[in-house]
Amino acid sequence: MSDIDLPEGVGRGHLEGMTKIQRHASPLSLVVLGAILLVALSGFLGGGAPARHVAERPEALLAVSVPDILRNGEFFEMVVRLEARSPVGDLTLGVEPSLWADMTQNTMIPAAGEESYADGLFRFAYGPVEAGSAVEVKMDLQINPDLLGGTRGDVVLLDGERELLRLPVAIAVRP
Q: What is the mean pLDDT of residues 148-162?
A: 94
Least confident range from 75-79, 140-144, 147-151: namely 147-151
| 46 in any annotated domain | no
pLDDT class of 41 with cuts at 50, 70, 90: confident
* Residue 11 pLDDT: 80
- Residue 83 belongs to domain spanning: 51-174
CB 33 within 8 A of CB 135: no
* Residue 60 pLDDT: 96
Share of the chain above pLDDT 90, in %: 65
| 35 in any annotated domain | no
In tens, the pLDDT along 2-32 reads: 567 888 888 877 777 777 666 677 788 889 9
* Residue 58 pLDDT: 94
**CATH code, domain with 168:** 2.60.40.3670
Q: What is the mean pLDDT of residues 50-69?
A: 94
The answer for residues whose C-beta is within 8 angstroms of residue 138's C-beta and 6 or more apart is 77, 78, 79, 107, 108, 109
In tens, the pLDDT along 103-133 reads: 999 999 999 999 999 999 999 999 999 999 9
- Indicate the average pLDDT of the chain: 90
pLDDT class of 98 with cuts at 50, 70, 90: very high
| 128 in any annotated domain | yes
* Residue 42 pLDDT: 80
Domain count, the chain: 1
The Cα 88–Cα 56 span in angstroms is 15
Dihedral sign for Cα atoms in the order 84, 86, 91, 97: negative
Q: What is the mean pLDDT of residues 76-98?
A: 96
Q: What is the mean pLDDT of residues 56-71?
A: 94
- DSSP type of residue 129: B
| 26 in any annotated domain | no
Q: What is the mean pLDDT of residues 85-97?
A: 96
| 102 in any annotated domain | yes
| 21 in any annotated domain | no
| 38 in any annotated domain | no
| 152 in any annotated domain | yes
